[in-house]
Amino acid sequence: MTIYFYKVWQPYGCFSNFSPHGIHIQGTYWPTVEHYYQAQKFVASRDAVIIPIIHAAATPEEAAALGRCSDRQLRRDWDLVKTQIMREAVLKKFLTHADIREVLLRTGDEILVENSPTDSFWGCGANKAGQNHLGKTLMSVREEIRNLLSLTVIYE
Ligand SMILES: Nc1c(N[C@@H]2O[C@H](COP(=O)(O)O)[C@@H](O)[C@H]2O)[nH]c(=O)[nH]c1=O
């Protein structure tokens, strides 16, 4: 079967980048993946001043709103780097938090889909035929963690 997720309070909400699972990346703690992802949009851009403001946002919704202000300049290479940036953050999230790692691993080989009605890049979009890059990232991270665990078993 396919597992659809979107809002934090819905089933499999821990797969949402808005879930309250903090990550340490390059020495900085980010309250959610969303805070980190939105802040990375502005690295080395003329609006980099907004990065600490996004970092300090009280909620992921606020972080996303700050990161989506259309009058701010995104880093020039954003479309080239955003998928890798997202994968780094999602991998760190599930390596950090054992409880949600178990939830992810227990999904077996099910297809994971971010059921976003508006986002056809990270989610499936309204027509359900979007690129689902967040779902693909989660399935890739699930596989990588399984591989890491299999190595641990060998060397224990
Ligand atoms: N889960 C979720 C959203 N989806 C998230 O928004 C991010 C994409 O943002 P952007 O690149 O600015 O369009 C990405 O992390 C995606 O998973 N958006 C929301 O407004 N609410 C939500 O609950």
pLDDT at 137: 98
51 CB near ligand 1 (under 6 Å): no
pLDDT tens across 34-43, in order? Answer: 999 999 999 9
Which of 6, 17, 33, 40 has most ligand 1 atoms within 8 Å of CB, for mutation? 17
pLDDT score of 67 more than 90: yes
Q: Model-level pTM?
A: 0.95
116 CB near ligand 1 (under 6 Å): yes
Domain 2-155 CATH assignment equals 1.10.357.40: yes
CB atoms within 10 A of CB 82: 18
pLDDT score of 153 more than 90: no
Nearest CA to ligand 1 atom 23: 7
